[in-house]
């Protein structure tokens, strides 16, 4: 589940606040001010949203967001390490090979999980 799917499980006000707080609104180039977000969620202040930030629900959403961003971070790191490895940097070469090995292991594990969950899809009904 990505962060946008997870945000569909909370109220629209919480969703808008979370998107604003973490600058995830893809349609806006300039972030809203605090006053503008209050107007958008029809609230006089963000005090109850600040209290929500201390809840398990909010922390779970933050964890999902971080996990979603980790994939992009890994991609960026891989590109940098690869570039250095191609110039002959020994540490980068070792790190690149290690990253490739970890990605292969992860993909193998992920494919095993997909195979075990799709057993019913492969059955033919007569």
Q: For the chain, give every domain's residue range.
A: 3-117
pTM: 0.68
What gap in Å lies between CA 9 and CA 23, rounded to an integer? 19
CB 68 within 8 A of CB 3: yes
Please spell the DSSP secondary structure of 84-116, one letter per residue. Answer: HHHTT-HHHHHHHHHHHHHHHHHHHHHHHHHHH
Top pLDDT among 29 and 91 is at 91
pLDDT of residue 116: 58
> 15 pLDDT band (50/70/90 cuts)?
very high
pLDDT in tens, 59-107: 999 999 999 888 889 899 999 999 999 999 999 999 999 999 988 988 8
Q: Sign of dihedral through CA atoms 73, 77, 82, 83?
A: positive
């Amino acid at each position: 589940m990505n962060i946008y799917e997870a945000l569909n499980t909370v109220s629209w006000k919480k969703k808008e606040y979370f998107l604003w707080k973490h600058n995830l609104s893809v349609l806006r180039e300039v972030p809203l001010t605090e006053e503008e977000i209050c107007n958008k969620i029809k609230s006089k202040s963000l005090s109850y949203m600040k209290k929500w930030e201390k809840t398990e629900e909010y922390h779970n959403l933050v964890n999902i967001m971080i996990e979603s961003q980790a994939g992009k971070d890994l991609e960026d790191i891989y590109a940098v390490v690869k570039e250095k490895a191609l110039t002959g940097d020994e540490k980068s070469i070792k790190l690149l090979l290690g990253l490739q090995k970890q990605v292969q292991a992860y993909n193998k594990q992920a494919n095993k999980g997909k195979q075990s969950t799709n057993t019913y899809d492969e059955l033919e009904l007569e």
